[in-house]
Amino acid sequence: EKRTRKSYEEKNKETQHHISQKLINIAIAKKSNLIASADVLTTSELLSLAEKVGPNIVALKTHIDIITDFDYEKTIVPLLEIAKRHDFLLMEDRKFADIGNTQELQYSYGIYRISSWADLVTSQVIGGYAAMEYFLNSGIVAILGMSSKGTLTDNHYRNEAEKIAIEHPNIIGGVCQNEISDSLLLFTPGVNLATAGDGKGQQYNTPEHVFKNLHSDFIIVGRGIYKADDAEKASLEYKIAGWNAYLASL
Ligand code: BMP
């Protein structure tokens, strides 16, 4: 197969990018490969979730443009403080999908000023290699394959997108439901312990599946955590399930 199971220690030796190294070091220190997706609608929910799940995660993934009361000083400044205190990275799931110049503007300007706070950003690679040059402060996670039913990310698309991801020094990994090259970190969303789908096209797998069969490196969990009655407890359960699945896959 094209991807072998490597430990975080082995990956740490092979990676060149400082953001990958940071992420892997946090994973080793916390015994966690969990990224919580904070798809909540207000600043107070975002900060309260970050506070609760912070000790159990390697990164918090945001869709910052769904925060209805976004205010840089009230949303980002305290979020950065929580991330620093609990030692996790911030990943903005912006899924950029434009020409380089526009992506550069979207990344640094507007009210969100993503470049000033996001350790990681997601981007489609549909705009080609050169469009990936402008996310200078963040590690890029390329969208190679999607988890939704009927996605257009077929074999051909994934292979072409993966070539760009492998070649580009700013791209540290990919989001995918398939195995990808060893030289990329693999981030897998669509993970839920309790359900197989959401009735809106989302398709879920278990941590066991993604570590054993895909040799994934990080699981991304949204509703399994933020919709749980006790988000703190749920994040601990996913952290343990993810870490045990990783150990079992070695
Ligand atoms: P949930 O676990 O609630 O289904 O959330 C999954 C999260 O991962 C969402 O924020 C979604 O935007 C993201 N995601 C995904 O589900 N599938 C993909 O292929 C790529 C994603 O970024």
Residue 246: Cβ-neighbour burial (10 angstroms; 0-12, 13-18, 19+): buried
Of the CA atoms within 13 Å of residue 127, those in its CB half-sphere come to: 18
Encoding tokens for residue 78?
């305290």
Given a cut of 60, whether residue 153 has pLDDT beyond it is: yes
Task: Give per-residue pLDDT as tens, 227-245.
Answer: 999 999 999 999 999 999 9
Average pLDDT estimate for 57-72: 98
Question: pLDDT tens for residues 175-187?
Answer: 999 999 999 999 9
Q: Let me know if 95 is a catalytic residue.
A: yes
- For the segment 146-158, the average pLDDT, to the nearest whole number, is 98
First vs last C-alpha separation in the chain = 15
For residue 1, pLDDT over 70 is answered with: no
Given this model, what pLDDT does residue 2 score?
73
Does this model's pTM top 0.95? My answer is yes
CB of 49 shorter than 6 A to ligand 1: no
| Secondary element (H or E) of residue 231 | helix 231-249
User: Over 70: is that where the pLDDT of 103 sits?
Assistant: yes
Asked whether the predicted pLDDT for residue 224 surpasses 80, the reply is yes
Q: What is the mean pLDDT of residues 74-90?
A: 99
pLDDT reported for residue 184: 97
Ligand 1 pocket test target in 195, 202, 218, 219 with most atoms within 8 Å of CB = 202
ipTM summary value: 0.99
Atom number, ligand 1, closest to the C-alpha of residue 192: 2
Look at residues 145, 143, 79 and name the one whose alpha carbon lies nearest to residue 114.
79
Closest CA to 187 of 16, 24, 63: 24
223 is in an annotated binding site: yes
Distances (CA, A) of 132 to 64, 86, 120, 186, 224: 20, 30, 13, 18, 32
93 is catalytic: yes
pLDDT at res. 17: 96
pLDDT at 7: 97
Question: Using one digit for the tens of pLDDT, what is the confidence trace for 43-55?
Answer: 999 999 999 999 9
